[in-house]
Amino acid sequence: MSDTVMRLGVVGSGSWATALAKVLLDNGHAIHWWVRESSIIDSFQRKRHNPRHLTSTWFPIERIEFSTNLDTVLRAVDVVLIAVPAAYLEAALGGSDPASWSGKNVISAVKGLLPGSNLLLNDYLLQHAELPLPDYFALLGPSHAEEVAAEKLSYLTFSGMDTSMAEQIAAHFSNEYINTLVNDDILGVQYAAILKNVYALGAGIANGLDYGDNFLSVLISNAADEMAGFLKKLGAYHIIVGEQESEDPVTHRMMPNYAASVYLGDLLVTCYSLHSRNRRLGGMIGKGYSVQVATGEMNMVAEGLPASNCIHQVNESRVRAEMPIAEAVYRICWGGADPKETFKVLETQLI
């Protein structure tokens, strides 16, 4: 653990926010926690667990200062972790006083673009509160909330322009069940986290259509290649597994390639795991449920659904990468295309 004292805040009360709050509390920290609904706070304080998510996870309430006022939380902390679904970010953050963000380090655990504007969270905070990019960090990696809460070993990557501060922040999360990595590819890791949810929808659709493991392996390996092509056009780096570009000047070991965990690892776990809500939603769509009915059956947000629309718009307007898998998911989810017919065409586009 780092000796640097940081006053820590958490924004959001979904499963990912709850799991990350547990990590900080397990490491001995006190936290300020913004929760939108006072009824959730009341239940939390009485029963010592989140009444809606990860309900078997117990919390030391005496080290949590809850509030429904975001400005109150922001003014009390040095570092604020945001773990809110992208679709709800503007509603959660838009009413805050821009001055409350001044001098804060922001950690984003968001895995989506803001619908409508197609902005990353760092771009939104720059517009809303003039938050400079060096004060912004992204926390991502192959890690389902359920497994983090169950203390199963997980790897989290902290990305930021200021890698020294990223290391200090990462140290507050590191423990016996969380291994931390640091890089400076702030753009790449955020878009990779968005894309992997889109591809997990596709993997779920394939599963629902009764494709087998052989096809699924081809689909996901092609998705990895498709993701790398998109990220490369965006200017991201360290995106190809197996590429080490330089060696450490002290140890003379090859410098780490972060594609192995934060890119490929996150893609694999989201496409294959039974914990994956995007895979689950895709499976229902593949079995014939309409998008509207499938989303209504789920009690959690599947970020891949809005992300598939956002990525389509971003790619059409400025990236122009070849993305047959992402486009197939977009047409099924947003264009009313028949999943079976769409995947029949996709079969001929995979290698």
> Are 43 and 55 within 8 A, CB to CB?
no
Look at residue 180 and give its three-state secondary structure.
strand
Instruction: Compute the residue count for the chain.
Output: 351
Q: What is the pLDDT confidence band of residue 274, given thresholds at 50, 70 and 90?
A: confident
What does the pLDDT read at residue 317?
94
Q: Which of 220, 228, 159, 232 is nearest to 189 (CA)?
A: 159
From CA 328, how far away is CA 284, in angstroms rounded? 16
- How far is residue 274's CA from residue 302's CA, in Å, rounded to a whole number? 13
Q: CA 332, 334, 339 angle in degrees (round to 5)? A: 10
**CA pair distance 285, 329, nearest whole angstrom:** 10
Mean pLDDT over 133-143 rounds to: 95
Contacts of 250 (CB under 8 A, 6+ apart): none
Residues 276-300 pLDDT 10s? 999 999 999 999 999 999 998 887 7
Whole-number Cα distances in Å, 275 to 129, 157, 266 = 35, 20, 13
User: Per-residue b/e over 56-90, b at no fewer than 16 CB within 10 Å?
Assistant: ebebeeeebebbeebeebbbbbebbbbbbbbbbbb
Give the tens place of pLDDT for each residue, 200-247.
999 999 999 999 999 999 999 999 999 988 988 887 766 555 555 556
Contact 282, 205 (CB under 8 A): yes
Write down the pTM of the prediction.
0.91
Please indicate whether residue 344 is annotated as part of the active site: no
Give the up-direction half-sphere exposure of residue 91: CA atoms within 13 A in the CB hemisphere.
9
CB 104 within 8 A of CB 131: yes
Report the pLDDT value the prediction gives residue 190, as an integer from 0 to 100.
93
pLDDT at 1 over 70: no
Among residues 22, 104, 111, 196, the one annotated as catalytic is 196
Domains of the chain: 8-184 (3.40.50.720), 188-347 (1.10.1040.10)
Asked if 143 and 156 count as a contact pair (C-beta separation under 8 A), the reply is yes
